[in-house]
C-alpha cells in the first residue's frame, strides 16, 4: 500500500550502528529500542492501514536527550518521525522504514497549574485529559477535547492542531496554546509564542501548530486554562431530514447563538450507537442534533429557551433538554462513542475528516449516500455541525477481497467532494500519509512549492517526518493519471510530464 | 483573472525582474508602524492595493467573510453590522482609508482581544501574491482546516514581507446581546490584583482599561458583554459604577482607535507582558488586556541606552517592547524587540526561501530582513 521508501539523502542504507553508538553516549539504554518485538508496537498510529516497522525507536526522558538524538540524526542523515501517544488518524506518526521514531511520551510532567494566570506548563507527553484533571481542583480546564483525549498527548495535539466537540465556542489547539518550546533538527532550542499576549517577529507559533512534526520537536508547552462553566445543558432535537437539521443549524447561528457544542448524527449513526450506549436517542429521526449551552444557571436557562424556539421553528419532530448532569452525559455518550460503536457493527471502519461550508451539508450527505452504492459499502455520518467538520465512517471488512481498496477510493471521493464545495480534505486529523494524494486536489503546484520552501527554513535537510503532508510533483502527476474518467482529466490545472 | 489583479501581478514581476523593492500599501494609515525600511533605494515602488476592493463572499450563518485586500475596514464593519455581526478582535481604525489587507498584515487587535482572541485567531484563509507573481491560496472559508501548513495565520502580522495579501477570509461573530461598562477608582497595582482575581472566574469581561485621568490614583474601566443575566451577574461581582451606554461607546472607541489623549504622547511604547506582571514603573502608563498590554509614554526621545533599559524591564517581566510611535529615533533603537538568535535565523531563512530576491517590504519587520 505504501510506496517503497528511500533515505532522503542518497538512497543508500543509513549507518544505524554508528547512529546508535552516538545516541548511547547521551541516552540511557532502556530508552533505545532496536529489537523487533520492542519496535513492533510502533509500526503504526491510530490509522492501522499504513504500517512500517521502524529500525530504531528512541524514547528520551528529557530535553537534553531530545537535543542529542536530533543532532545525531542530523549528523548521520537519518529521518526522524516524532510520535506522541500514537492515536493520530492520518498516519502522521507512521515510521520511516529507514528512520528513527522519536517518542516523547516520557516527557510527561505537569510543571505548573496556575489559576491566578489561568495557565498550565506541561511536557509534550502529558495527556490532554490529564491537564484538565490537574486543573479541576481550581475550577478550571483545558478546552480542546478531541475524542481521543484520554490517551492523546498535548504534543500530538500541537502537531495536528486538534479540535473537539467544543471548538466552535472555545477554539482549536492554535487558540489555546500560548507558548511552545521546541528543538529544531539542528538541535537548537526555540521559544515560539509567549505568556504575553504576543511575541515579536513572525507568528511562528501559529504556523508551527498543525505542522505534523515536520518543523521541530516540542519539549514544553504552556496552555491557556479557562474557568469551568457553572452549568451546562444540552438540547437533543430530532428532524425528519438532514436538510431540515442543516437549516436548524444555520438558524441557530443566524440567531446570534454560539453553542458550546453542536453535533449532528444521521439515521445510520443513531441506529449504530443507540444499542451500544442506550442514550435514549430517537430511532425515528433521520437526523439528530445535540446542542449544548454552558455558563451560569441563569445564562444557560435563557440560552436553552432560545435554542428550543429556533429548533421548534425549524420543524423539530422531537425536543428533549437534559434534566441533570447525568442525562447530559448520557446524551453525549452516544456521540462520543460513535467510533467504538462502528467497530462493534463492522469488522473495520475508516474515518474521514473533511470540512465543508455548512450550507452544502445536505448536498454532500446525499452524494455520500449515492457513493454507498457505487463502492458497495455502507457509511455512517457524524458531524461537528457547528464548524462544518464531517466524520463519515466507512464500514468495511478487511478480510473481504477488494474492500480495503474500495474503502480507500470511497474515502478519497468524499474528500474530493469536500474540496469541490469549497471545503478542505482535513479539518482536524491532519494529512499524514493518508491524504497526501488529495493534497494535489486541494492545492496547486505553486502552493505545494511554497509549503516545501516554508519547511526548508526549519529543516533544510528534509529529515523531520519526510514524505508526509506535502506530495512530490511526481506523486501528484501519478495520482492525476489514476483519475482520468471518460477521457476527461480530473485536475486540469495540474502540470503534467 | 481580473484586470486589477493582473496589473498587480505585472508590477511584482517587473520588480522581481529588476530586483527592486516594492512597498505594499493599502490605505496608508499604518505607515507609522514597524520599521520604515531603508529610504531612498533607487527604483523602489509602491504596490497600491486600494483599488482591489470589494466583499467577495459573506454568509452570516457560516460566520465567514471573504474580502479583497483593498476593501475598506469601515465598509466591512458596516456590512457585518447590518447582520448583527462584528470583527471580534476590534482592530484599531486609524482613518477611513484603512483597508482589511492592512489590518491583517499589521496584526493589531483592540480591546476585545483578551476575551475573544487576537486577529490571527480569526484568520481562516488568505490569497497571497507571491514573489514570483503567482497568486496562491492558503486556508479557506471553513473553521477547521489542517491541510498543509497554516500559512494564512503566518501572514497575519507579517507586515507584507512574504508578499501582498490579495484576499482574506475572516471568522466573524455575532454581536453580544447587551454590553455594560463599569468604572472603579483604583490604583494600577489594585487594578492588576483585580485582573488576577477575575481571571479564574467565569466573568463575561470583554475589555479592560486602566488609566489616570487628571488627579487621583486612576480609574479602571471594565466592559462586560453577553446575555442580560450574564452581564447582570458579572456586574454584581465586579462592582464599580456603571456608566451610560453612549459615554461607554465613546470611551471604548477612544481606546480601540487610540484617540484618547494618552495615545497622543511621544514616544509611545507598546509593552506586551504576561498579564500578571507587576507594575513596571516605566512612566505614565495605560493598561489594557487584563494587564497583558502596557502602553508607556516616554519623557524624551529614546536613545540606545534608555531603549535598552526599557526593553530589559519588559523582557525581565517575560514580555517585549515595541517602539510604537515616535517623533524621532536613532538608528540603533529598533522598532521591534530584538529576537532570540535562533528565531531571528528562522525569520531570515523564511524570508530567503519565500522572497529570495527580497522585493517585498524589505526592512519593514526587521532591519536587513
Out of B132, B292, B322, name the one closest to residue A197 (CB): B292
Q: List, in order, residues 6 or more apart from B257 with CB less than 8 Å away.
A: B92, B93, B94
- Write the DSSP symbol of residue A493: T
**Which of A172, A196, A212, A232 to mutate to probe the B interface, most B CBs <10 Å?**
A196
Which residues touch B335 (CB under 8 Å, ≥6 apart)?
A: B34, B35, B322, B323, B329
Residue A90 pLDDT exceeds 60: yes
- For residues A93 and A349, give the distance between their C-alpha atoms in angstroms, rounded to a whole number: 19
Average pLDDT over residues A1-21: 66
A:407-426 residues touching chain B, CB 8 A cutoff: 422-426
Residue A457 has a CB neighbour count (10 Å cut-off) of: 19
The reply to whether residue A174 touches residue B153, judged by beta carbons under 8 angstroms, is yes
**What is the pLDDT at residue A260?**
95
The nearest alpha carbon in chain A to B197 belongs to: A116
| Residues within 8 A of B (CB atoms), A 270-299 only | 295-296, 298-299
10-residue mean pLDDT profile of chain B (369 residues): values are: 91 95 96 85 89 96 97 98 98 98 98 97 98 96 95 98 98 96 98 94 95 92 95 96 97 98 97 98 97 95 94 98 95 94 96 96 92
Q: Which residues of B touch A211 (CB under 8 A)?
A: 149-150
Are the beta carbons of A447 and B148 separated by less than 8 Å?
yes
CA distance A379 to A416: 16
Beta-carbon contacts of B152 under 8 Å, excluding residues fewer than 6 positions away, are B123, B124, B125, B126, B138, B139, B168, B169
Cα B208 to Cα B110, B190, B236, distances in angstroms: 11, 13, 17
How far does B184 lie from chain A, in Å, by closest CA?
21
Question: What pLDDT, on a 0 to 100 scale, did the predictor assign at position A268?
Answer: 94
Q: How far is B365 from chain A (nearest CA, A)?
A: 7
- pLDDT of A206 over the 50 cut: yes
Q: Could you tell me which residues are beta bridge partners of residue A382? A: A265, A391
Query: How confident is the model over A68-86, as a mean pLDDT?
Result: 97
Residue A11: its pLDDT value, please?
Answer: 60
Which candidate, B90, B73, B95, places its Cα nearest to that of B29? B95
Name the helix (H) or strand (E) containing A243: helix A242-254
Domain segments of chain B as ranges = 3-174, 176-257, 262-335
What is the DSSP track for A336-401?
HTHHHHHHHHSSEEEE---B--GGGHHHHHHHHHHHHHHHT-EEEEEEETTTTEEEEEEEE-TTST
CA B64 to chain CA centroid, nearest Å: 20
Q: What is the mean pLDDT of chain A?
A: 92
Give chain B positions within 8 Å (CB) of A454.
149, 151, 154, 350, 353-354
Residue A495 has pLDDT above 70, yes or no: no
Distance from CA of A327 to the nearest CA of B (A): 24
Q: Is the domain defined by B3-174 classed in CATH 3.30.465.10? A: yes
Cell numbers standing for residue A156? 500530538
Q: What confidence tier does A192 reach under pLDDT thresholds 50, 70, 90?
A: very high
Q: Give kind and range of the element (H or E) at residue A324.
A: none
User: Are A195 and B322 inside 8 Å of each other by CB?
Assistant: no
Task: Cell numbers for A73, please give them.
Answer: 540524526
Cα–Cα distance, B118 to B114 (Å, whole number): 7
Report the alpha-carbon distance of residue B272 to residue B333 in Å, rounded: 18
Query: Quick check: B98 and B70 in contact, CB under 8 A?
Result: no
Mutate to test the interface with A, among B108, B139, B146, B280 (most CBs of A within 10 A): B146
Domain A110-227 fold is: 3.30.465
pLDDT higher than 60, residue A2: no
Residues 165-224 of A with CB under 8 A from B: 167-168, 171-172, 174-175, 184, 188-192, 194-204, 206-207, 209-211
CB atoms within 10 A of CB A112: 12
Cell of B170: 475572516
How do residues A449-489 score in pLDDT, each as one tens digit?
999 999 999 999 999 999 999 998 888 888 876 544 333 43
Residue B331 CB neighbour total at 10 angstroms: 7
Residue A7: predicted pLDDT: 43
Instruction: Compute the nearest-CA separation of A140 from chain B (Å).
Output: 7
Nearest CA in chain B to A387: B143
pLDDT tens per residue, range A375-400:
999 999 999 998 999 999 999 999 99
Minimal Cβ distance to B233: which of A298, A355, A446 = A298
pLDDT tens profile A117-140:
999 999 999 999 999 999 999 999
Is A38 buried (19+), middle (13-18) or exposed (0-12) by CB count in 10 A? exposed
Mean pLDDT of A185-197: 97
Nearest Cα neighbor of A204 from A171, A181, A228, A176 is A181
Instruction: Answer yes or no: do A203 and B140 touch at CB < 8 A.
Output: no
- pLDDT above 80: residue A12: no
Choose the closest CB to B149 out of A195, A454, A460: A454
Name the residue facing A230 among B154, B202, B275 (closest C-beta). B202
CA distance A397 to chain B (A): 28
Cell (9 digits) for B159: 507586515
Q: How far apart are CA A117 and CA B318, in angstroms?
A: 13
Closest CA to A423 of A358, A357, A477: A357
pLDDT at A493: 44
- Residue ranges covered by each domain of chain A: 16-103, 110-227, 231-340, 347-380+391-482
The answer to whether A16-103 and A231-340 have equal CATH topology is no
CA distance B60 to A359: 11
List all residues of chain A from 86 to 115 with a beta carbon under 8 Å from chain B.
115
Residue A482: per-residue pLDDT: 56
Pick the CATH number of A16-103 from 1.10.3430.10, 2.60.40.10, 2.40.50.140, 3.30.43.10: 3.30.43.10
Q: What is the CA radius of gyration of chain B?
A: 21
Residue of B nearest to A389 (CA): B144
Element (H, E) at A319: strand A318-321
**Is B142 in Cβ contact with A384 (below 8 Å)?**
no
Q: Which of B150, B175, B228 sits opposite A207 (nearest CB)?
A: B150
Residue A6 pLDDT: 42
Of B146, B232, B274, the CB nearest to A160: B146
Enumerate the residues of chain B whose CB falls inside 8 A of the CB of residue A196. 272-274, 292, 318-320
Using omega within 30 degrees of 0 as the cis cutoff, is the peptide bond preceding B267 cis? yes
Could you tell me the end-to-end alpha-carbon distance of chain B, in angstroms, rounded to an integer? 31
A119-122 sheet: strands from edge to edge: A110-114, A119-122, A217-224, A177-183, A189-193
Put simply, the answer to whether B132 touches A450 (Cβ < 8 Å) is: no
Kindly indicate whether the domain formed by A231-340 is annotated with CATH number 3.30.70.2190: yes
Chain B contact set for A91 (CB, 8 A): none
pLDDT-based confidence at residue A147 (cuts at 50, 70, 90): confident
Largest Cα–Cα separation, chain B: 65
DSSP collapsed to 3 states, chain B: CCHHHHHHHHHHHHHHHHCCCEEEECCCCCCCCCCCCCCCCCCCEEEECCCCCCEEEEEHHHCEEEEECCCEHHHHHHHHHHCCEECCCCCCCCCCCCEHHHHHHHCCCCCCHHHHCCHHHHEEEEEEECCCCCEEEEECCCCCCCCCCCHHHHHCCCCCCCCEEEEEEEECEECCCEEEEEEEECCHHHHHHHHHHHHCCCCCEEEEEEECCCCCCCEEEEEEEECHHHHHHHHHHHCCEEECHHHHHHHHHHHHCCCCHHHHCCCEEEEECCCCCCCCCCCCEEEEHHHCEEEEECCCCCCHHHHHHHHHHHHHCCCEEEEEECCCCCCCCCCCCCCCHHHHHHHHHHHHHHCCCCCECCCCCCCCC
A343: number of CA atoms within 13 Å, CB side? Answer: 4
Mapped onto helix, strand or coil, the DSSP state of residue A412 is: helix
- Count chain A–chain B contacts defined by CB atoms under 8 A: 262
Q: At A5, is the pLDDT very low, low, confident or very high (cuts 50, 70, 90)?
A: very low
Q: Assign A22 to helix, strand or coil.
A: helix
| Higher pLDDT, residue A8 or A247 | A247
Q: Which of A327, A254, A256 is nearest to A290 (CA)?
A: A327
Name the residue in chain A with its Cα closest to that of B83: A254
Do B272 and A206 make contact, defined as CB atoms within 8 angstroms?
no
CB A347 within 8 A of CB A398: yes
**Phi/psi-derived region of residue B63, left when phi > 0, alpha when psi is between -120 and 50, beta in every other case:** left
Using the structure block, give the residue that is written with the C-alpha cell 436548524: A248
**DSSP class of A315:** T
| Residue B278 to chain A, least CA–CA distance (Å) | 12
- A460 to chain B: which residues are within 8 Å by CB? 349
CB spacing of B147 vs A117 below 8 angstroms: no
Instruction: Provide the total of helices (H) and of strands (E) in chain A, helices listed first.
Output: 18, 18
Here the cell at position A481 is 493519471
- A494 closest CA partner among A482, A477, A479: A477
Task: Give residue A69's pLDDT.
Answer: 98
A362-372 average pLDDT score: 93
The pLDDT value recorded for residue A296 is 87
Q: Which of A194, A439, A450 shows the shortest C-beta gap to B147?
A: A439
CATH architecture of residue range(s) B176-257 = 2-Layer Sandwich (3.30)
The question of ipTM being above 0.85 is answered as yes
Whether residue A456 and residue B353 make contact (CB cut-off 8 A), yes or no, is yes
DSSP A95: P
Question: Cβ atoms within 10 A of the Cβ of A46, count?
Answer: 21
A494 touches chain B (CB under 8 A): no
Between these two residues, A361 and B81, which has the higher pLDDT value?
B81
Closest-CA residue of chain A to B60: A254
Residue of B149, B172, B195, B351 best to disrupt the A interface, most CBs of A under 10 A: B149
Q: Which grid coordinates are listed for A318?
A: 422531537
Contact A128, A157 (CB under 8 A): yes
Amino acid at each position: 500500500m505504501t510506496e517503497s521508501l528511500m533515505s532522503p539523502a542518497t538512497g543508500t542504507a543509513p549507518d544505524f550502528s554508528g547512529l546508535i553508538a552516538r545516541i548511547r553516549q547521551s541516552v540511557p539504554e532502556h530508552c533505545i529500542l532496536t529489537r523487533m518485538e520492542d519496535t513492533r508496537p510502533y509500526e503504526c498510529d491510530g490509522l492501522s492501514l499504513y504500517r512500517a516497522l521502524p529500525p530504531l525507536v528512541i524514547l528520551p526522558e528529557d530535553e537534553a536527550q531530545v537535543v542529542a538524538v536530533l543532532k545525531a540524526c542530523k549528523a548521520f542523515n537519518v529521518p526522524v518521525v516524532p510520535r506522541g501517544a500514537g492515536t493520530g488518524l492520518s498516519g502522521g506518526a507512521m515510521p520511516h522504514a529507514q528512520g528513527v521514531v522519536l517518542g516523547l511520551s516520557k516527557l510527561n510532567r505537569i510543571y505548573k497549574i496556575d489559576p491566578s494566570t489561568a495557565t498550565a506548563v506541561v511536557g509534550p507527553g502529558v495527556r490532554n485529559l490529564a491537564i484538565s484533571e490537574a486543573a479541576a481542583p481550581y475550577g478550571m480546564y483545558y478546552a480542546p477535547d478531541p475524542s481521543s483525549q484520554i490517551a492523546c498527548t498535548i504534543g500530538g495535539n500541537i502537531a495536528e492542531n486538534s479540535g473537539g466537540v467544543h471548538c466552535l465556542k472555545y477554539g482549536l489547539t492554535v487558540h489555546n496554546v500560548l507558548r511552545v518550546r521546541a528543538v529544531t533538527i539542528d538541535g537548537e532550542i526555540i521559544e515560539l509564542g509567549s505568556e504575553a499576549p504576543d511575541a515579536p517577529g513572525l507568528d511562528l507559533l501559529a504556523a508551527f501548530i498543525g505542522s505534523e512534526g515536520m518543523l521541530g520537536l516540542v519539549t514544553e508547552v504552556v496552555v491557556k486554562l479557562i474557568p469551568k462553566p457553572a452549568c451546562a445543558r444540552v438540547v437533543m432535537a430530532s428532524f425528519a431530514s438532514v436538510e431540515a437539521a442543516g437549516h436548524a443549524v444555520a438558524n441557530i447561528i443566524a440567531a446570534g447563538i454560539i453553542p458550546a457544542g453542536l453535533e449532528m448524527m444521521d439515521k445510520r449513526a443513531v441506529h449504530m450507537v443507540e444499542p451500544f450506549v442506550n442514550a435514549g436517542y430517537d430511532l425515528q429521526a433521520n437526523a439528530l442534533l445535540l446542542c449544548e449551552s454552558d455558563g451560569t444557571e441563569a445564562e444557560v436557562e435563557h440560552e436553552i429557551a432560545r435554542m428550543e424556539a429556533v429548533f421548534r421553528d425549524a420543524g423539530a419532530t422531537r425536543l428533549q433538554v437534559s434534566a441533570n448532569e447525568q442525562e447530559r452525559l448520557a446524551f453525549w455518550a452516544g456521540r462520543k462513542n460513535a467510533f467504538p460503536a462502528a467497530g462493534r457493527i463492522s469488522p473495520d471502519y475508516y474515518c474521514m475528516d473533511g470540512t465543508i461550508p455548512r450550507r452544502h451539508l445536505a448536498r454532500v450527505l446525499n452524494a455520500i449516500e449515492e457513493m454507498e452504492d457505487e463502492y458497495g459499502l455502507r457509511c455512517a455520518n457524524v458531524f461537528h455541525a457547528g464548524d462544518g467538520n464531517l466524520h463519515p465512517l466507512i464500514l468495511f471488512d478487511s478480510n473481504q477481497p477488494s474492500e480495503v481498496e474500495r474503502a480507500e477510493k470511497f474515502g478519497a471521493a468524499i474528500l474530493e467532494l469536500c474540496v469541490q464545495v469549497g471545503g478542505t480534505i482535513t479539518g482536524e486529523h491532519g494529512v499524514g500519509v493518508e491524504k497526501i494524494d488529495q493534497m494535489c486536489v486541494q492545492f496547486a503546484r505553486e502552493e505545494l512549492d511554497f509549503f516545501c520552501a516554508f519547511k526548508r527554513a526549519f529543516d533544510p535537510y528534509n529529515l523531520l517526518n519526510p514524505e508526509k503532508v506535502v506530495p512530490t510533483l511526481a506523486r501528484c502527476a501519478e495520482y492525476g493519471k489514476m483519475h482520468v474518467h471518460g477521457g476527461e482529466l480530473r485536475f486540469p490545472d495540474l502540470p503534467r510530464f | 483573472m481580473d484586470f486589477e489583479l493582473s496589473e498587480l501581478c505585472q508590477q511584482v514581476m517587473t520588480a522581481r525582474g529588476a530586483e527592486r523593492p516594492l512597498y505594499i500599501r493599502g490605505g496608508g494609515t499604518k505607515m507609522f508602524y514597524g520599521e520604515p525600511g531603508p529610504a531612498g533605494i533607487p527604483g523602489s515602488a509602491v504596490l497600491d492595493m486600494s483599488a482591489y476592493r470589494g466583499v467577495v463572499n459573506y454568509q452570516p450563518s457560516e460566520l465567514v467573510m471573504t474580502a479583497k485586500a483593498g476593501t475598506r475596514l469601515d465598509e466591512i464593519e458596516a456590512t457585518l453590522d447590518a447582520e448583527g455581526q462584528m470583527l471580534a478582535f476590534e482592530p484599531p481604525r486609524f482613518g477611513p482609508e484603512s483597508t482589511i489587507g492592512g489590518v491583517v498584515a499589521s496584526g493589531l487587535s483592540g480591546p476585545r482581544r483578551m476575551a475573544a482572541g487576537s486577529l490571527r485567531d480569526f484568520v481562516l484563509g488568505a490569497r497571497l501574491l507571491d514573489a514570483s507573481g503567482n497568486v496562491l491560496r492558503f486556508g479557506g472559508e471553513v473553521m477547521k482546516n489542517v491541510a498543509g501548513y497554516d500559512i494564512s495565520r503566518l501572514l497575519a502580522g507579517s507586515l507584507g514581507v512574504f508578499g501582498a495579501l490579495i484576499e482574506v477570509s475572516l471568522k466573524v461573530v455575532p454581536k453580544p446581546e447587551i454590553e455594560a461598562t463599569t468604572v472603579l477608582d483604583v490604583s494600577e497595582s489594585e487594578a492588576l490584583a483585580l485582573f488576577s482575581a477575575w481571571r479564574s472566574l467565569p466573568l463575561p469581561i470583554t475589555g479592560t482599561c486602566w488609566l489616570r485621568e487628571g488627579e487621583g490614583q486612576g480609574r479602571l474601566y471594565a466592559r462586560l458583554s453577553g446575555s442580560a443575566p450574564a452581564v447582570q451577574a458579572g456586574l454584581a461581582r465586579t462592582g464599580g459604577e456603571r456608566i451610560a451606554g453612549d459615554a461607554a461607546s465613546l470611551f471604548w472607541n477612544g481606546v480601540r482607535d487610540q484617540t484618547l489623549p494618552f495615545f497622543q504622547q511621544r514616544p509611545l511604547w507598546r509593552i506586551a507582558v504576561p498579564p500578571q506582571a507587576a507594575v513596571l514603573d516605566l512612566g505614565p502608563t495605560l493598561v489594557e488586556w487584563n494587564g497583558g498590554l502596557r502602553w508607556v509614554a516616554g519623557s524624551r526621545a529614546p536613545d540606545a541606552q534608555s531603549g535598552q533599559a526599557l526593553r530589559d524591564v519588559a523582557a525581565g517581566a517575560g514580555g517585549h517592547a515595541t517602539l510604537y510611535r515616535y517623533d524621532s529615533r536613532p538608528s540603533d533603537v529598533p522598532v521591534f524587540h530584538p529576537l532570540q538568535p535562533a528565531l531571528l535565523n528562522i525569520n531570515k531563512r523564511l524570508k530567503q526561501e519565500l522572497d529570495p530576491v527580497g522585493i517585498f517590504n524589505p526592512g519593514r519587520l526587521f532591519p536587513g530582513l
